[in-house]
Structure 1
């Protein structure tokens, strides 16, 4: 793969002054040789004028954050990245390319996530050209190449992770957008290195279940949320009940029978787990026959 290199060029303002002087000299020699029938001066004036005109034609203007790739009869000579007026190799072709930071907003893509659920996803890719040789000559059209490779990478990354899950250690598209965007940027950089493009940032800007399953997946999310909350409540209730029994027995030096423990545990669990208010029942003791 051809790498970018620097072409030979000189300051255009200084060269412009020199070329104007050379053109004046060539005009003087041509007119003098023609008037006094001195063919040597006439030929010298013509040659000097042609050389000055060729170099004058090779002048080029490079704007801020722009570059000019110089080709001489199909051969890549190098790139001018400085901004200003310059004179370079005569009879060369100059291809302009922008070095500005640009955005690419992908279309909304329908992809199956890791669990096989269809989701809609799109991303914004921030990039800039850092190697003009690869961007112009490494691929056919680097802007089209960026678009196609970006959508391909988005599809691949979306299929690597589930849309959502209730396991804290799992990486999901919805819950870990920063990590997913970072993975997307790394994969895009690997894909677009051949085009001389640097990825600055990627961000997901649209993420949702596909319309045909959105309602069903919402119910599924609600059911999972309720189940997860119930599991947390039960775990907390068991822990609180165990702690209460230990504190009562240790602090008051009370030893419960197995039946009394079961009854106490049942009452505590019911009062903690239930989502409705409980009515206390006061136990005044057992009646004995006399």
Structure 2
């Protein structure tokens, strides 16, 4: 059978406090009616009127009153309930307060219900914990939550295995979709985050020496792409992705040492290139100053010697050891 999309709607509801007080008053009246009919029947016998009154009182005490109590629902801020009536979607309640709804509806259990049941069983017989667990199983949280998935080993755009981990901040914005469109929206979100992470990481290299987008140098852009990818996949579950961030990024252990050497070599080359460019500029400035101020006239051979000496001094890793020439330079 083809799945029919479910549109979220608000069910009929009234003030729960008013129904609670009214039901208590009616049950008290029904109790008085039962006692009165029983007392009168001892003196005059059970007449049809007394039998009818006794039946009405007992029916309200045993059936109607408890059924009305079943329709009372309490919702805290940022909580929701999804109701079904005889197997069909009835409505979703997402307002904080005390309400009365159709007493024959049933709340769709949250995916956490099985975990709460296991925790309750482990704690032993505890009525307070049991009631809290049952209530939590019937409600779905609309608060912002954090998903911190395990680190994964993925190959980047250059085929290098890397270890990457992400954290996703999310919340449920449509409780109906979260409970009725997917079996377990927690697991669904986790799987979609893993899938989106693999798809995005394969598009970028770990590091880049030019202006190309990389995982290490363009984390903001990668995180935005990741957020959009996850959001696209989780619309069906009524989930909104608030933020996605990379929390861990490193090379896999089997190539970490080799990649560290490559990074060190790249850094040394870049530093040497900057030193050479600066040294050439200083030598050029020195020759121009000497020539412009007519301090000394040098032929091409002496200029070459001067350039060589200055470059050695400026580009050397160690301090230069000056040598004083007491004779003629020729």
Shift, 1:113, TM fit: 1.0
Instruction: Check whether the contact 1:32–1:41 (CA below 8 A) recurs between aligned residues.
Output: no
**Equivalent residue in structure 1 for 2:140, among 80, 97, 112:** 97
What CA deviation, in whole Å up to 9, does each residue of 1:177-208 have, x standing for no partner? 34333332222222222211122222322222
The residue correspondences of 1:40-189 to structure 2 (distance < 5 A) are 41=53, 45=57, 50-95=63-108, 96-167=139-210, 169-189=211-231
The TM-score, its normalising length taken from structure 1, stands at: 0.86
Q: Does residue 265 of structure 1 match 2:307?
A: yes
157-166 vs 147-156, which moves further: 157-166
**Equivalent residue in structure 2 for 1:37, among 40, 48, 53:** 48
SS at match of 1:213: helix
Unaligned stretches of 5+ in structure 2? 42-46, 109-138
2:17 corresponds in structure 1 to 13
**Equivalent residue in structure 2 for 1:190, among 224, 227, 232:** 232
Shift, 1:77, TM fit: 2.3
The residue correspondences of 1:197-216 to structure 2 (distance < 5 A) are 197-216=239-258
Q: CA RMSD in A?
A: 2.7
In structure 2, what is the Cα distance between the partners aligned to 1:231 and 1:89? 78
Instruction: Check whether the contact 1:58–1:88 (CA below 8 A) recurs between aligned residues.
Output: yes
User: CA 1:9 to 1:264, structure 2 compared with 1: closer, same or farther past 3 Å?
Assistant: same
The TM-score, its normalising length taken from structure 2, stands at: 0.76
SS at match of 1:103: strand
Unaligned stretches of 5+ in structure 1? none
Instruction: Check whether the contact 2:33–2:54 (CA below 8 A) recurs between aligned residues.
Output: yes
**Equivalent residue in structure 1 for 2:276, among 221, 226, 234:** 234
Shift, 1:30, TM fit: 5.7
**How many residues get paired?**
286
Shift, 1:266, TM fit: 2.1
User: CA 1:240 to 1:183, structure 2 compared with 1: closer, same or farther past 3 Å?
Assistant: farther
18-27 vs 71-80, which moves further: 18-27
